[in-house]
Structure 1
């Protein structure tokens, strides 16, 4: 899979820098990564660590649905985790409403692997540190700050870690 087809330019630069081990970036482990251009497997290459297990156990149900649906490549389930008027701020780019979120998920999220590394529960949501590996790449770390309303994601702010 061509990374240009699934990543906005800003994410592509960071993903390529991380994969090449450029100064100032942290190279993700290669263990279990799919070969370049290959599809990632549905199951994680390594089981979650105890810290990851603890982080997953304390996720808000809507956030857990999002994570599980991304990893199972279930577009409808990812989209249904959001309110119809939900908003995603992807490194400053605003994606508003169910149709726009569906297009974003389909073009940029499905096919990747999302691992929760840390979780900070808070009133009205979760702030999680994740490792996102789009399309079998080594990936990058990011903070996902989820705001929950009535059991669904009202807003997700995504920023690089």
Structure 2
């Protein structure tokens, strides 16, 4: 595996997640941003917060990044996800819009 830098705004987002900073986590998304968690779609900060309270920030999740790929406007991060809700190697696919996240898709890594 080659050491790669995680592009912004994804790097700041992962930092916010790993320190459980809910405000920075939610602020990373555009107002109409979305999370696709294995096919379950949460759109807008209110829905994302409700999901995150149970399964992401609220579950004290952390991501140890193992691989990064940037293709076009998509940034894919594969890493070891650990939380009180779920654990395991996961793939996070980020679509950006300016300096915000338009969509985060979570799949099996």
TM-score between both structures, scaled by the size of structure 1: 0.62
Q: Which residue of 1 aligns with 2:95?
A: 147
Corresponding position of 2:104 = 156
Give a deviation string over 1:78-129, Cα, whole Å, max 9, x none. 1111111001100000010011111222221111111111000121131111
Q: Distance in 2 between matches of 1:136 and 1:109?
A: 8
The aligned residue for residue 62 of structure 1 is: 9
Residues 113 and 136, structure 1, Cα contact 8 Å, conserved in 2:
no
Q: Which residue of structure 1 lines up, in the alignment, with residue 73 of structure 2?
A: 124
Change beyond 3 A, Cα 1:83–1:136: closer
More strand by share: 2
Alignment RMSD? 1.8
**How far apart are the structure 2 equivalents of 1:142 and 1:108?**
14
Gaps of 5+ in 1: 1-49
List gaps (5 residues or longer) in structure 2: none
Q: Residues 1-161 of structure 1: matches in 2 within 5 Å?
A: 54-55=3-4, 57=5, 59-110=6-57, 111-135=60-84, 139-161=87-109
Q: Hey, which bits of structure 1, 4+ residues long, moved more than 4 A?
A: none
In the alignment, the residues of structure 2 paired with residue 101 and residue 151 of structure 1 have an alpha-carbon distance, to the nearest angstrom, of: 18
Compare the two structures and name the one with the higher helix fraction.
1
TM-score by length of 2: 0.89
